[in-house]
């Protein structure tokens, strides 16, 4: 089967389905592959299960059907904390930053959690933050005192900071003006093209989707779709 270096995809979803404990089934029969060096867009209506899909890929939840393979291994069988802290960078829809820390501290915390060695952690964190257009004054402020767009950019800087091979972003441009949105998309694109990352972006924006190499349209699960009409 797929044994060669080229043919083995970084991430592979095999017939993935997900049903919440409460019983409603959100995802069904997904067969997606994600390669290094490419940017993917995941689109779909609100409530289609995009965030749920990212939770499965990042190992925060386990698929109730099928399996997700990372470098050929089912992520059920690997240490998912280790996997998340080193190989996956997530920009959460709700950011999930620590409100009492400032931007730099939030970034360096993730860098330390990854267990990877960086020659100058502070400097790298600052570089990442200035890449997303946050100045010195903002990055020393507690997260609580930042605007939604600023928080979103801190979350992006955090996801990139520890050099993960997969970058997951849940509507990373939702709170940004068009110019900043374009800058951010450029950053993600360069991550894929120049650094060989696998970038997966959930978005409602056609402009963002247009920039990606491939688009996965997440159709609402049929049972639910029928109900919706």
Partner 1 sequence: MFVIQNALKSIARSKGRNILIGIIVLAIAISSCVALAIKNAAAESEAAGLSAVKISGSIAVDRQKLLEAVSSSAGTDEDGSMDMGSMQEIMAQYPDLALDELLGYADSDFVEDFHYSETVSLSGTDDFVAYGAEEAAEAATGDEGNMRTGGFGGGQFGGEPVPIFGNNGMSMGDFSITGYSSESAMTEFVSGAAKITEGELFDMDSSDLSCLISEELAAINGLAIGDSFSLSNPSNEDEIYTFAVTGIYAGGDTGETGGGPQFSTAQDPANLICISYPAAASIVSNSESVGTSVTDIQGYERSSALSGQLAATFVFDNKADYDSFAEELGERGLSDYYTLSSSDISSYEASLVPLENLSGFATTLLLIVLAIGAVILIVVNIFNIRERKYEVGVLTAIGIKKGKVAMQFVTELLCVTLIAVILGAGIGAAISVPISNQLLASQIEQMQTQSQEQNQNFGRPGDFSQDEGPVQSGNGSFPGTIMLNAARTDAGYIDQINATVSPAILGELIGIGLLLTLLSSLAAVVFVLRYEPLKILANRT
Which residues make up the interface to Mg ion (CB under 5 A)? 51, 93
Give the shortest CB-201-to-ligand ATP separation in angstroms: 13
Give whichever of 121 and 189 is closer to partner 1, judged by the CB atom. 121
Give whichever of 8 and 109 is closer to partner 1, judged by the CB atom. 109
Give the shortest CB-87-to-partner 1 separation in angstroms: 9
Give the shortest CB-58-to-partner 1 separation in angstroms: 8
Q: Which does 47 bind (CB under 5 to 8 A by kind): Mg ion, partner 1, ligand ATP, none?
A: ligand ATP
Q: Which does 61 bind (CB under 5 to 8 A by kind): ligand ATP, Mg ion, partner 1, none?
A: partner 1
Residues 188/89, Cβ–Cβ less than 8 Å:
no
Give the shortest CB-17-to-partner 1 separation in angstroms: 17
Q: What are phi and psi of 98, to 5 degrees?
A: -85, 115
Q: Which does 222 bind (CB under 5 to 8 A by kind): ligand ATP, partner 1, Mg ion, none?
A: none
User: What six digits make up the tokens of 7?
Assistant: 């043919």
Return the residue matching tokens 């995802």: 27
Give whichever of 27 and 75 is closer to ligand ATP, judged by the CB atom. 27
Give whichever of 24 and 122 is closer to ligand ATP, judged by the CB atom. 24
Residues 187/131, Cβ–Cβ less than 8 Å:
yes
User: What six digits make up the tokens of 102?
Assistant: 């400032």
Give whichever of 83 and 118 is closer to partner 1, judged by the CB atom. 83
Give the shortest CB-125-to-partner 1 separation in angstroms: 14
Give whichever of 48 and 176 is closer to ligand ATP, judged by the CB atom. 48
222: number of Cβ within 10 Å = 11
Q: Which does 24 bind (CB under 5 to 8 A by kind): partner 1, Mg ion, ligand ATP, none?
A: ligand ATP
Give the shortest CB-55-to-partner 1 separation in angstroms: 6
Instruction: Give CA separation, 166 vs 90, 100, 160, 188, 199, in Å.
Output: 8, 27, 9, 11, 6
8: number of Cβ within 10 Å = 14
Residues 51/202, Cβ–Cβ less than 8 Å:
yes
Binding site for ligand ATP (CB under 6 A): 20, 22, 24, 26, 44, 46-52, 93
Which residues lie closer than 8 Å to 163 by C-beta, 6 or more apart?
116
Secondary structure E strands in 31-190: 33-34, 39-43, 65-70, 73-74, 88-91, 166-170
Q: How far apart are CA 97 and CA 95, in angstroms?
A: 6
Which residues lie closer than 8 Å to 2 by C-beta, 6 or more apart?
8, 9
Binding site for partner 1 (CB under 8 A): 55, 60-61, 81-86, 88, 90, 92, 94, 96-100, 105, 109-110, 112-114, 158
């Amino acid at each position: 089967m797929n044994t060669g270096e080229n043919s083995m995809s970084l991430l592979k979803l095999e017939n993935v389905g997900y049903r919440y404990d409460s019983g409603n089934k959100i995802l069904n029969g997904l067969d997606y592959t994600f390669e290094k060096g490419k940017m993917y867009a995941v689109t779909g209506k609100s409530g289609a299960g995009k965030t749920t899909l990212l939770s499965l890929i990042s190992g925060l939840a386990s698929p109730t059907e099928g399996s997700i393979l990372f470098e050929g291994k089912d992520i059920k069988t690997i240490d998912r904390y280790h996997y998340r802290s080193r190989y996956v960078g997530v920009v959460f829809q709700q950011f999930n930053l620590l409100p009492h820390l400032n931007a730099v501290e939030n970034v360096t915390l993730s860098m330390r959690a990854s267990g990877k060695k960086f020659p100058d952690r502070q400097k790298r964190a600052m570089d990442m933050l200035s890449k997303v257009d946050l100045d010195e004054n903002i990055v020393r402020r507690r997260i609580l005192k930042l605007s939604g767009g600023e928080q979103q950019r801190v979350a992006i800087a955090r996801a990139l900071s520890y050099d993960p091979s997969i970058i997951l972003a849940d509507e990373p441009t939702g709170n940004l003006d068009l110019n900043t949105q374009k800058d951010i998309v450029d950053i993600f694109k360069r991550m894929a093209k120049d650094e060989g990352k696998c970038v997966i972006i959930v978005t409602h924006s056609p402009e963002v989707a247009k920039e990606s190499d491939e688009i996965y349209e997440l159709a609402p699960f049929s049972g639910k779709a029928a109900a919706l009409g």
